[in-house]
């Protein structure tokens, strides 16, 4: 196992990871992911969509990451530099977990409706996307086309898994296990 064979507190030392959270019930799993990344030495900065804050509080992620959590494009409190550009410029890896169908569509079509999608447009580092949504949404031709567009841009996907979904249906659309996402992040370094 990759993580067990290395020194956990140093595996991601000096790596800046930008973690985007979107409005999926799976957002609560991001607390575990942030904790694992920080324990491995990463400097984690979280960007949440407004919808994501309905599922997990920014305070939880701020406490675990030991960094401010960014939500609103219009509430940047840094100096004259646009904070969203600075976040993107400093990151070594941009991870979106969970990624909703709406976020995939925004990314694929270049819509800068939120802080997260604005940062996405200025980001030049590797993008790793872990979708989570209803199985019918995941299989919809629009989502399939958006995924194809993002793959053609060189983005990497951590496929959702089969299981019981929050909506009560069973099928593909569950966020991949946090350990799987963590290992996928490690492989980027």
CATH at residue 122: 3.40.50.1950
pTM greater than the 0.75 cutoff: yes
Residues spanned by the domain of 129: 2-187
The pLDDT of residue 83 is above 70: no
DSSP for 118-183 reads HHHHH--SEEEEEE---HHHHHSHHHHHHHHHHHHTT-EE---EEEE-TTS-EEEEEPPPHHHHHH
Burial tier of 49 (Cβ tally within 10 Å: 0-12, 13-18, 19+): buried
**Domain total for the chain?**
1
pLDDT recorded at residue 3: 44
Report residue 34 as tokens.
């942030």
Active site residues: 167
Mean pLDDT is lowest, of 58-67, 78-87, 94-103, for: 78-87
The pLDDT of residue 1 is above 70: no
pLDDT (tens digit, 9 = 90+) per residue, 118-153?
999 999 999 999 999 988 899 999 999 999 999 999
Closest CA to 182 of 43, 2, 57: 2
């Amino acid at each position: 196992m990759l993580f067990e064979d290395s020194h956990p507190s140093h595996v991601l030392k000096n790596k800046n990871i930008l973690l985007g959270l979107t409005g999926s019930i799976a957002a609560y799993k991001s607390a575990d992911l942030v904790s694992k990344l920080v324990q491995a030495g990463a400097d984690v900065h979280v960007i949440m969509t407004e919808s994501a804050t309905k599922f997990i509080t920014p305070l939880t992620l701020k406490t675990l990451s030991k960094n401010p959590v960014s939500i609103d494009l219009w509430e940047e409190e840094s100096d004259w530099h646009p904070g969203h550009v600075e976040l993107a410029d400093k990151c070594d890896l941009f991870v979106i977990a969970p990624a909703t169908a709406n976020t995939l569509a925004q990314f694929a079509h270049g819509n800068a409706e939120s802080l997260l999608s604005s940062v996405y447009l200025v980001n030049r580092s590797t993008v790793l996307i872990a979708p989570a949504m209803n199985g019918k949404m995941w299989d919809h031709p629009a989502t399939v086309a958006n995924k194809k567009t993002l793959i053609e841009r060189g983005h990497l996907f951590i496929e959702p898994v089969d299981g019981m979904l929050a909506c009560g249906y069973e099928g593909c659309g569950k966020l991949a296990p946090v350990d799987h996402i963590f290992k996928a992040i490690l492989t980027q370094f």
